[in-house]
């Protein structure tokens, strides 16, 4: 079906092919908010293979295989992977300057009140960006691990097919690259990714609070109108219709381990697993997840008088520390919004 839709876009001439290699700027912004500017480019699958594009998430085999088949059938990347990088002020300054000086070639507001703008950068600027990115040691997959893995798989398959056919592979072929939307880390904001647990593992609400205090968590009733946690190493708990503020004391935080010091991992270890008996949050049907964009109201609407946890957002620095250590973030740790739209820009490849 994905291939049929893409073929329809081509037949209806809804897609216009650019005949020149260039960079693009793609921004998204919630209504009334500052836009986030990304540089649309192509990233090397060889860099991904070498670990120069770092990941922090474990992919699910079936989902990765499905994405790989889709990319292969469509002969294209239809949605960019979301990469980020440290430093690189010259790049971000140039992107913002160009976006402010040029007219976007597309400008639309989608039904979720997100403004999408798209700019074409003159090819004369290519050299600047290529040279500046040589100063960037590595990039990080922020969002789109399955898309990244799928694009890598297809590129590798196409390379092997070409070699079997006796064709020379230079490394510059389209299939050796992944369509990427690249943002500077300092401009990114990770949103909270919250949890709902549908039973208390045989405990009463009062017993759960007592057990949490026993393992060392400091708990008090939230007095603020907004129950969202305000600081790192705190989270809020909605239990029996009451919001509680929960603070994780220093002695429970393993600062030497970039995963174990994350609030979401501490919650998993001490409460989700330790008290509520959920060993695998990926597969246990007693736990649900609510992305922060939908707000505390959605958490209150869905928690059904069991227990819900509102998390303080993971920082981009935490994400990078995990990736730099070659480790994996806990499941459902990060929520990025707004997201680029699928099919807004596509990248086709041959063979």
Q: What is the pLDDT along the chain (351 residues), one digit of tens a residue?
A: 667 877 787 787 788 888 899 999 999 998 888 899 999 999 999 999 999 999 999 998 999 999 999 999 988 898 999 999 998 899 999 999 999 999 999 999 998 899 999 999 999 999 999 999 999 999 999 999 999 999 999 999 999 999 999 999 998 899 999 999 999 998 888 999 999 999 999 999 999 999 999 999 999 999 888 999 999 999 999 999 999 999 999 999 999 999 999 999 999 999 999 999 999 998 899 999 998 788 788 899 888 879 999 999 999 999 999 999 999 999 999 999 888 888 888 898 865
Report the C-alpha gap between 76 and 69 in whole angstroms.
11
> Which tokens belong to 200?
């208390």
Report the C-alpha gap between 351 and 349 in whole angstroms.
7
Q: How far is CA 157 from CA 161, 176, 208, in A?
A: 6, 10, 52
Report the C-alpha gap between 218 and 212 in whole angstroms.
8
Contact 313, 191 (CB under 8 A): yes
Stretch(es) of the chain classified as CATH 3.30.1760: 193-324
Q: Where are the beta strands (DSSP E) in 9-138?
A: 24-30, 36-44, 53-54, 76-77, 81-85, 106-109, 114-120
CA dihedral 75→77→79→80, nearest 10 degrees, is 180
| Residue 330 three-state SS | coil
pTM of the model: 0.91
> Which tokens belong to 149?
């893995």
Contact 152, 47 (CB under 8 A): no
Contacts 24+ apart (CB under 8 A), 244-252: 244/209, 244/219, 244/220, 245/219, 245/220, 245/221, 246/212, 246/217, 246/218, 246/219, 247/217, 247/218, 247/219, 248/216, 248/217, 248/218, 249/216, 249/217, 249/218, 251/216, 252/215, 252/216, 252/217
> Which tokens belong to 332?
């459902």
CB contact burial 115-139 (16+ within 10 A = b; e otherwise): bbbbbbbeeeeeeebeeebeeeebb
The residue among 58, 109, 140, 94 whose CA lies nearest residue 327 is 58
The dihedrals phi and psi of 14, each to the nearest 5 degrees, come to -80, -15
CA end-to-end distance (rounded Å), the chain:
21
DSSP 312: P
- Report the pLDDT value the prediction gives residue 2, as an integer from 0 to 100: 67
Side-by-side strand order, sheet with 53-54: 53-54, 139-143, 81-85, 177-184, 36-44, 24-30, 114-120, 106-109
CATH number of 193-324: 3.30.1760
The radius of gyration computed from the CA coordinates of the chain, to the nearest angstrom, equals 22
Contact 263, 311 (CB under 8 A): yes
- In this structure, the strands spanning 307-311 and 234-239 are antiparallel
- Report the pLDDT value the prediction gives residue 296, as an integer from 0 to 100: 87
- Report the pLDDT value the prediction gives residue 186, as an integer from 0 to 100: 87
């Amino acid at each position: 079906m994905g291939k049929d839709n893409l073929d329809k876009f081509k037949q209806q001439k809804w897609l216009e092919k650019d005949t020149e290699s260039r960079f693009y700027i793609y921004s998204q912004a919630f209504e009334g908010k500052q836009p986030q500017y990304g540089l649309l480019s192509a990233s090397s699958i060889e860099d991904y293979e070498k670990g120069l594009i770092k990941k922090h998430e474990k992919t699910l085999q079936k989902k990765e295989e499905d994405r790989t088949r889709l990319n292969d059938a469509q002969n294209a990347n239809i949605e960019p992977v979301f990469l980020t990088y440290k430093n690189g002020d010259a790049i971000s300054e140039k992107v913002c300057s160009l976006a402010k000086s040029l007219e976007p070639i597309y400008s639309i507001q989608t039904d979720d009140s997100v403004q999408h703008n798209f700019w074409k950068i003159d090819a004369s600027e290519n050299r600047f960006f290529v040279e500046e990115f040589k100063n960037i040691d590595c990039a990080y997959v922020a969002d789109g691990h399955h898309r990244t893995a799928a694009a890598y798989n297809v590129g590798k398959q196409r390379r092997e097919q070409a070699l079997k056919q006796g064709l020379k592979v230079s490394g510059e072929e389209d299939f050796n690259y992944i369509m990427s939307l690249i943002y500077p880390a300092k401009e990114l904001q990770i949103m909270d990714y919250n949890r709902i647990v549908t039973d208390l593992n045989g405990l009463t609400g009062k017993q759960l609070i007592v057990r949490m205090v026993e393992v060392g968590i400091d708990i008090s009733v939230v007095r603020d109108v907004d129950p969202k946690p305000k600081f790192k190493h705190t989270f809020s708990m909605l239990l029996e219709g009451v919001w509680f503020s929960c603070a994780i004391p220093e002695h429970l935080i393993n600062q030497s381990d970039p995963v174990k010091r994350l609030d979401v991992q501490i919650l998993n270890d001490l409460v989700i697993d330790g008290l509520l008996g959920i060993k695998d949050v990926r597969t246990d049907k007693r736990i649900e997840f609510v992305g922060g964009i939908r707000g505390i109201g959605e958490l209150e609407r869905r928690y059904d008088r069991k227990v819900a946890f509102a998390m303080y957002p993971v920082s981009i620095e935490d994400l990078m520390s995990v990736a730099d250590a070659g480790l994996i973030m806990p499941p459902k740790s990060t929520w990025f919004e707004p997201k680029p739209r699928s099919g807004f820009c596509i990248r086709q490849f041959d063979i």
